[in-house]
Amino acid sequence: MGLEDDLPHLQKVIYEKEREKKMPRKIFIFDTTLRDGEQSPGASLNSREKMEIARQLAKLNVDIIEAGFPISSHEDFESVRAIANEVKGPVICALARAVEADIKRAGEALKDTEKPMIHTFIGTSDIHIKGQLRKTREEVLKMAVLAVELAKSYCHEVEFSAMDASRTDPAYLFEVVQVAIESGATVINIPDTVGYAIPDQFSQLIRDIFINVTGVDKIRLSVHCHDDLGLATSNAISAVKAGATQIECAMNAMGERAGNTALEEVVMTIKTRGDYLDAFTDVKTQEIMNTSKLVSRLTGFVIPPNKPIVGSNAFAHSSGIHQDGVLKERTTFEIMMPQDVGLSESELILTARSGRHALRHRLSELGYEISDDQLGKIYETFLSVADKKKQVFDEDLIAIVGDELLAAPQTYSLEYMQVIGGTPTPVAVIGLRKGKEVFREVACGDGPLDAACKAIDKITGVTIELIDYSLNAATKGKDAIGTAMVRVRSNGRTVIGRGASTDIIEASAKAYINAINKILYGR
């Protein structure tokens, strides 16, 4: 057996030795939001919007921006050219099929940029070679060589993609990759074009490329995974574990069909699990939220709340047990710092499942230092509001606390009320508690609130004059909390009463009772 035949074995030994070194490797982030991302059905960006995104990608510090596909339209050509001339920092890349006209157009668009890269590609699976290209394997091999050589005449950095690599006969794939490297490609990209690969299988393919192709260690081995089966991030990360040093990805997982690998997911996986992957990226992760929001706004693609990293629930804790854990020790239920992706803090979603601990914490963040006794009362009101509304917002809390703190001393409190509006005569039935007794009265009025106030007057015997009345929705939505404010006068003394409830007549009646209590207290 000659040395030639033994090559795969030698390569395997080298591959394993390299893996054993365990030196943290930089993983290059190749962003394709403006090319593959823009191919998302329904997303289309104009040149100005593409420029805005490219500037933000430079702030995010991605290594390569794939700015577009210049042969596809005059607008795309101009947009790639403008980005190439203006955006500094990342390498600016243009896509081209493995045909002369495409490569020339890409070369022209990148003519004046400091760091250009041409990305040329051709289908290598038999399905693509026969079904789409109507060519032979030999012809495709030649096209790959000519394409890389021509691209090389425009710039040093040339990426070659073997489209549909995961469905390509591996022996043929090694051959194509080998000739592309020999023709001068500085990056070889292995796309899972139709999202068909399974993580174990995909990482084995990457390992096999290292073992069967000479010189892979001298270039960058890249992966480009689609999310048809929801495996794009897993496939990309397993490829990194197997030795790939570049990931192609798009912000918010934008891309053809079900999308591309989500940039935010792979970057945060590498940051969070760099210990296991022996890898890092140079991405400024604090810019992730800004970038995600910009891409969402300009493409009109809304981000689902449960989307990893960038969804509005990604750092929000709702269950009582989780909230308690996070308040005691953040890492109990959080593997990333919200600040690392550009959020100010994690969020405790206050719902009927939240405990007193979470409620007190949020109140103290809002500036309320309350006694245990007050907390007990506020918590009861909080639970009744949370039962009616799914989520209790800060504005709800402010209204609840205001109601509680200003309500003391409560000579009278509202036990029940029933109001019938409309014609001919609005009627109110009111029950007020005073100590252990509950007093009941019925009254008619000009409107439901007038009827309620008259029934209250009958019970308390206090004569008051209503000077001012206002009602505000303290929170959003149909189930918002209404806060009522009344200014009343009695025996020359003016007081303000406040009340809050999801029912506006009840909020108003509570405000009225609160004012009466203050008058009685003053006496």
Q: Which of residues 10-39 bind Zn ion (CB under 5 A)?
A: 36
121 binds, among Zn ion, ligand KIV, none (CB under 5 to 8 A by kind): ligand KIV
Closest separation in Å from C-beta 59 to Zn ion:
24
Q: How many residues bind ligand KIV (CB under 6 A)?
A: 9
Contact between 81 and ligand KIV by CB under 6 A: the answer reads: no
Q: Which of 31, 36, 76, 404 binds ligand KIV (CB under 6 A)?
A: 36
**Nearer Cβ to Zn ion, position 226 or 498?**
226
Q: Which amino acid would we find at residue 284? A: K
Question: Segment 36-75, which members bind Zn ion (CB under 5 A)?
Answer: 36
Supply the minimum distance, in Å, between the C-beta of residue 303 and ligand KIV: 23
Asked whether 368 and 384 are in contact (CB, 8 A), the reply is no
Are 246 and 224 in contact, with CB atoms under 8 Å apart? Answer: no
Least Å from the CB of residue 202 to Zn ion: 15
Other beta carbons less than 10 A from residue 152's beta carbon: 17
- 197-236 binders of ligand KIV (CB under 6 A): 224, 226
Could you tell me whether strands 482-490 and 493-501 are parallel, antiparallel, or unpaired per DSSP bridges?
A: antiparallel
Provide, rounded to whole angstroms, the least separation between the CB of residue 191 and Zn ion.
6
- Residue nearer to Zn ion on the CB measure, 38 or 403: 38
Starting at the edge strand found earlier in the chain, the sheet holding 427-434 runs: 413-420, 427-434, 437-444
- End-to-end, the C-alpha distance of the chain in Å comes to 110
Q: Report 185-204 residues binding ligand KIV (CB under 6 A).
A: 189, 191, 193
For 110, the token pair is 């990148």
Q: Is residue 7 exposed (0-12), middle (13-18) or buried (19+ Cβ within 10 Å)?
A: middle
Task: Tell me whether residue 36 or residue 396 sits nearer to ligand KIV (CB atom).
Answer: 36
Binding of residue 56 to ligand KIV (CB under 6 A): no
> How many whole angstroms separate alpha carbon 53 and alpha carbon 33?
9
**If contact means CB under 5 to 8 A according to the sort of partner, which of Zn ion, ligand KIV, none does residue 428 touch?**
none
The pairing of strands 279-280 and 25-26 is parallel
Question: Would you count residue 163 as binding ligand KIV (CB under 6 A)?
Answer: yes
Interface positions, 500-519, toward ligand KIV (CB under 6 A): none
φ, ψ of residue 253 in degrees (nearest 5): 60, 25
What is d(CA 302, CA 230) in angstroms, rounded to the nearest whole number? 18
CA–CA distance, 327 with 333 (Å, rounded to integer): 10
Least distance in angstroms from the C-beta of 167 to ligand KIV: 11
Q: Do the beta carbons of residue 260 and residue 226 sit within 8 Å? A: yes
The nearest distance, CB 260 to ligand KIV, in angstroms, is 8
Site for ligand KIV contains 177 (CB under 6 A): no
Residues facing 81 on adjacent strands: none
CA 406 to chain centre: 40
Instruction: Write down the least CB distance from residue 331 to ligand KIV, Å.
Output: 37
What track of x and - describes contact with ligand KIV for positions 251 through 280 (by CB under 6 A)?
A: ------------------------------
SS3 of 10, please? helix
Q: How many CB atoms lie within 10 A of CB 114?
A: 10
**Residue from the set 15, 30, 121, 368 that interacts with ligand KIV by CB under 6 A:** 121
Indicate whether 161 belongs to the interface with ligand KIV (CB under 6 A): yes
HEC assignment per residue over 221-236? EEEEEECCCCCHHHHH
Q: Which of residues 443-482 bind ligand KIV (CB under 6 A)?
A: none
Q: Whole-angstrom Cα distance, residue 2 to residue 451?
A: 105
Q: Closer to ligand KIV by CB, 121 or 315: give it.
A: 121
- By rule CB under 5 A, what count of residues binds Zn ion? 1
Which residues are at the interface with Zn ion (CB under 5 A)?
36
Which residues are at the interface with ligand KIV (CB under 6 A)?
36, 121, 161, 163, 189, 191, 193, 224, 226
